[in-house]
Structure 1
């Protein structure tokens, strides 16, 4: 199974790395790919760092913290021209991986709550399972359409994810480190230290590029 962890990663931080590793380990994924979005659609908040900078920071973070594991970046959204939509990425990845290999799209609880606002959200289930990282004591809110989909497709057995290529929803509790990319940007912009929030090579890159100043 291939895990796909999408997001802006502006910047990537230890919260991303820890949750990615937990999902990788719990589901025994053969591979996990961080897939930073490229050209942000107009309805979403724009990033501060460029797509290439965000990709570079993820590569530095993986090299520092997850070296030796089959965890890497996937640059297809950065390289694609036009708005960045996950459905397009999953379609191209499905063509590469074949029709039988399970793909697992990894999303956070908050992102999943708004899943029906994603471009062609229902078609995403044709190409991947949805792995939802949940937080302790946090309430998951869903509209009627999403709740109906979860009711008909959710499983609590990892083996089910391996038995078919796509279409299931799986909830996995993960340790949530209280770090946010917006907080890192604010601290860096104010000239304050961001050590222990993101790997040292990422901090050095942010300082060298003066990304959030």
Structure 2
């Protein structure tokens, strides 16, 4: 599971999903747009539009799936509920992984029912070399005794462990940067897949320069 607002999806998101699948040996990666992200600003375009852009971005990439499960559920897009639905879908023995970036990881103890996340899945943190330092005390308590050092140890169980992972080619693209360029009428070529660019341009999306929002 790789969640986010995908506002809009860009090559950084997609390359991360591909590398997660390869490095962890996953059967597939569910890319799940948040309908109502609890800890982020309101996305600039609708959830259905972001899902459509995500599907265009994925195209026929093997192993990647645009999953609308959070759009089909009312209320805030809590990851614990999403993981519960995935656990029900795939069964108790399936190895389920929730991947998130380092910035989101630092706030993990503030999430809805954070302990339940580990009851349902493993957590994989995509490390950032420029983010080194002490973790918040509540986060340290939450992850105590859960961290493992490699993918093999992670996959020995179906859930409950934490792995910090450095991916081969982390692309320094942010959705905020993309939105700013779109709002200013500047080129986003090679930041986004071409079908995504075409839909954004044809529908005039992200043209309000006053709204940049969160990632």
State the TM-score, normalizing by the size of structure 1. Answer: 0.92
Q: What's 2:40 paired with?
A: 44
- Where is the helix percentage greater, Structure 1 or Structure 2? 1
Provide the C-alpha distance between the structure 2 equivalents of 1:178 and 1:39, rounded to a whole number of angstroms: 25
Counterparts of 1:190-201 in structure 2, within 5 Å, are 190-201=184-195
For residue 78 of structure 1, what is the aligned residue in structure 2?
71
What's 1:17 paired with?
14
Query: 131-140 or 70-79: which moved more?
Result: 131-140
Alignment counterpart, residue 6 of structure 1, candidates 3, 6, 9: 3
> Does structure 2 retain, via aligned residues, the 8 Å contact 1:135–1:173?
yes
Query: What stretches of structure 1 move > 2 A for 4+ residues in a row?
Result: 148-151
User: 2:127 matched to 1:134?
Assistant: yes
C-alpha distance in 2 between matches for 1:206 and 1:72 = 21
Name the structure 2 match of 1:202.
Answer: 196
> 2-side partners of 1:133 and 1:40: how far apart?
20
Q: Work out the CA distance in 1 between the residues paired with 2:112 and 2:2.
A: 17
Q: Please, which runs of 5 or more residues in structure 1 have no aligned partner? A: none
Q: TM-score under structure 2 normalisation?
A: 0.91
Could you tell me whether the CA contact under 8 Å between 1:113 and 1:141 is conserved in 2? no
Indicate the residue corresponding to 1:55 in structure 2: 51
- Aligned-pair distance for 1:68? 4.6
The secondary structure found in structure 2 opposite 1:83 is: coil
Aligned Cα root-mean-square deviation (Å): 1.3
Matched with 2:108 is 115
TM superposition shift of 1:140: 5.0
Structure 2: which 5+ residue stretches go unaligned? 208-215
The answer to whether the 8 Å contact 1:114/1:142 transfers is: no
CA distance in structure 2 between the aligned counterparts of 1:40 and 1:158, rounded to whole angstroms: 29
- What SS does the corresponding residue of 2:71 show, helix, strand or coil? helix
